[in-house]
Structure formats: structure tokens, C-alpha cells
């Protein structure tokens, strides 16, 4: 599924939850800055670069795979954050994947717990700013990747399914330097139905 501009502009993705609905995993204050200011700024910067460029009218995913420099950074971060913010719902204590995605994780990682450990480890060992992703390759095999800065797995020919943002702006208000605690808490708010729909 591709993300197209509306009247020539990309817009903030509409969230299915209230700003305080993810608390205490992600506070309303963090949503206010991260979604309301950081993501909005990436979108504004991208929109400002489009008129008169070869990217005018292109889908977001096409811009990400075809661009470089400032356009790439802002398009990548717009796509990354759109996938990120649309994958959550209110916290649930024993939240785990079911259906096709649950079966695929069990088969390919041994168990959900083994997958969680590998995914969080990829997030905590990523030096600097970036993202940890679960994606599907062209054969449907699941793969965990670390992506630096604004990078997205579509540039490697992968289909992105789930992502945790490890830029400090994603967790510093709520967790300060405790990136691992933040990543472990995020499991409570993953909407696995959304992840399964992306398979």
C-alpha cells in the first residue's frame, strides 16, 4: 500500500487513539512532541521541497527509494514515523501476536520471547539514532534489521511490518537514557492486527 499526497501535500497520519491512550508506555507529552512537532516538521520540510521537483505527485515510498540528501531524510522520516504511530493501541498486559504473524514469529524465531529478545537487542545495540525493524523479504521470510537515521527497509527490497524508534526524541521525556526499558515497554502497545495486515 502506498502513501499518496493530498492536493500536492503529505499530511499527518490520523491516529486511531487519543494522545493519552498509550500512557504510561508513551505519555501524552511525548506524543505532543514526537507526533505533533517532530513528525510535523519532517512533513513540512518534505512538502516544501516538492513543488517543481521531480518528486511532485510521487508516492512517499517512491520518493524514499529514489531520493537522497534532504528530501531523502525528510521523506524517510515521514514514512518511518507514519508506520510507527499507526502500529499502536492502548496498553495490554499480556499483549502478543496471534494469527499469521504469531505463527510466523514462532516458526522463524522459535518463540515470541526469543523474537522480543532479538528485536530489543537490535534496538539497544544500534549506536546513535535510528530504527529497529521487523520486515518480510520477497519470500515472506521475517528479518530484523537496524536502520540508521532516516533509513527504511524498503530501500533493501523488504516489506516493513513493525518498528521501534530509537532516536532519543522517542523516549527521553518518559525514560531519559533508559532506552532498553522503553523498548521493553513498547510490547504492551503494539497492535498486532495492524502488523498482520502489513504482511
Residues lying near Mn ion in the complex (CB under 5 A): 165, 167, 170
Report the residue number, 119 or 167, with the smaller CB distance to Mn ion: 167
**CB of residue 35 to Mn ion, shortest distance in Å:** 9
The 3-class SS string of 91-111 reads CCCCCCCCHHHHHHHHHHHCC
Report the residue number, 81 or 89, with the smaller CB distance to Mn ion: 81
DSSP letter for 154, please.
G
Distance CA 60, CA 100 (A): 27
Report the residue number, 26 or 161, with the smaller CB distance to Mn ion: 26
- Rounded to the nearest angstrom, the gap between the alpha carbon of residue 17 and the centroid of all alpha carbons in its chain is 16
**CB of residue 93 to Mn ion, shortest distance in Å:** 26
**CB of residue 3 to Mn ion, shortest distance in Å:** 17
Distance CA 173, CA 26 (A): 9
Amino acid at each position: 500500500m502506498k502513501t499518496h499526497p493530498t492536493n500536492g501535500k503529505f499530511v499527518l497520519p490520523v491516529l486511531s487513539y487519543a494522545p493519552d491512550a498509550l500512557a504510561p508506555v508513551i505519555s501524552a507529552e511525548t506524543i505532543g512532541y514526537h507526533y505533533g512537532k517532530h513528525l510535523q516538521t519532517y512533513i513540512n520540510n518534505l512538502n516544501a521541497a516538492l513543488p517543481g521537483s521531480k518528486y511532485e505527485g510521487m508516492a512517499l515510498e517512491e520518493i524514499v527509494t529514489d531520493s537522497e540528501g534532504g528530501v531523502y531524510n525528510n521523506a524517510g522520516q515521514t514514512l518511518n514515523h507514519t508506520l510507527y504511530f499507526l502500529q499502536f493501541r492502548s496498553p495490554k498486559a499480556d499483549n502478543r501476536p496471534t494469527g499469521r504473524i504469531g505463527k510466523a514469529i514462532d516458526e522463524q524465531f522459535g518463540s515470541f520471547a526469543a523474537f522480543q529478545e532479538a528485536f530489543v537487542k537490535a534496538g539497544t545495540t544500534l549506536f546513535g539514532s535510528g530504527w529497529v525493524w521487523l520486515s518480510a523479504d520477497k519470500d515472506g521470510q521475517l528479518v530484523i534489521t537496524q536502520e540508521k537515521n532516516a533509513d527504511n527497509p524498503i530501500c533493501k527490497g523488504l516489506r516493513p511490518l513493525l518498528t521501534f524508534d530509537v532516536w532519543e526524541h522517542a523516549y527521553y521525556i518518559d525514560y531519559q537514557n533508559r532506552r532498553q526499558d522503553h523498548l521493553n515497554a513498547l510490547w504492551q502497545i503494539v497492535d498486532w492486527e495492524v502488523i498482520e495486515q502489513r504482511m
